Amino acid sequence: MNTGLEGKIAIVTGGARGIGFATCEALAAQGCKVALADISEEEGAAAASKLAQSGQFCQPHAVDVTSEYLVRQLVARVLQDLGRIDILVNCSGVAPNVVPMIRLELSEWTRVLQVNLYGTFLCCREIGLLMAKQESGRIINIASLNSVSPAALTVAYNVSKAGVVSLTQTLAAELAPFHVNVNAISPGPVETRFHDVVMPQRAATLGIERAAMIERVRASIPLGRWGEPSDIAKAVLFLASSESEWITGQNLIVAGGLSGVSAAPAREVILGEG
């Protein structure tokens, strides 16, 4: 694929691990200068150092994407150091706690929405303005299969990712006159730290072991395996590249053929009985 990414400047949020780190690797390997933004200063520095050791350019930035001030500071630092921003990939996100909506605490709802949706909004707003002024750019937001096929017991996560898709489509329409492409990617089950949090909780609601839950999910995927972070990073590369010039406002599902899971949980799980 002729990506045309050599020398481009990219910001990747949530870049220290999982899909975010795989995205940093993929972009850097194509010649991008990558600003790796992550809430963990230590993990971000370690991830950037790993890429630097292989001869790739990666600059770490410790950023909480829920802070308007810190997001603006990130943009200012990248502009000062690298001169422009050509690509934004929003990978920052938090895993939900698995709990019925009728027993969900407001604090949990707020925690998930603040990072997954509000954080994406802040980054898109600040960098979208910059890209409109320069009349070029690519924005890629990582959503989830849950955005189009909401699973039971994770309402805050479902809503946050559906919001990311709606935000993506709205911004795509608004920035189209400025030649800025805005798209989302909705991954299915991918082997990351996210599922280390969610899978044990899912298993507990079914009364099975974590390993059995993981196998149950694998068996439901038509292509027969869990995804890897690199599977999503490859899709990011395509949407960031010159090969996707006439694509905007789309939600690309990358899920091994899986279209979603909509099984209803047991009554006692919903009511917290037993």
The tokens of 55 are what?
């001869």
Indicate which residue of 157, 161, 226, 231 is catalytic. 157
Q: How far apart are CA 141 and CA 20, in angstroms?
A: 11
Q: How far apart are CA 198 and CA 249, in angstroms?
A: 29
Q: What is the arrangement of strands in the sheet containing 137-142, beginning at the earlier edge strand?
A: 58-62, 33-38, 9-13, 87-90, 137-142, 180-187, 251-254
DSSP H helical ranges for 2-134: 18-29, 41-53, 68-82, 106-113, 120-134
- Our answer to whether residue 157 is catalytic in this structure is yes
Q: What is the dihedral of CA 169, 197, 207, 186, to 10 degrees?
A: 20
Q: Are 245 and 181 in contact (CB under 8 A)?
A: yes
Q: Are 195 and 230 in contact (CB under 8 A)?
A: no
Q: Which residue has the tokens 């189209």?
A: 176
Q: How far apart are CA 49 and CA 244, in angstroms?
A: 30
What b/e string do you get for 175-214 counting C-beta neighbours within 10 Å, with b at 16 or more? beeeebbbbbbbbbbbebebbeebbebbbebeeeeeeebb
Catalytic positions: 157
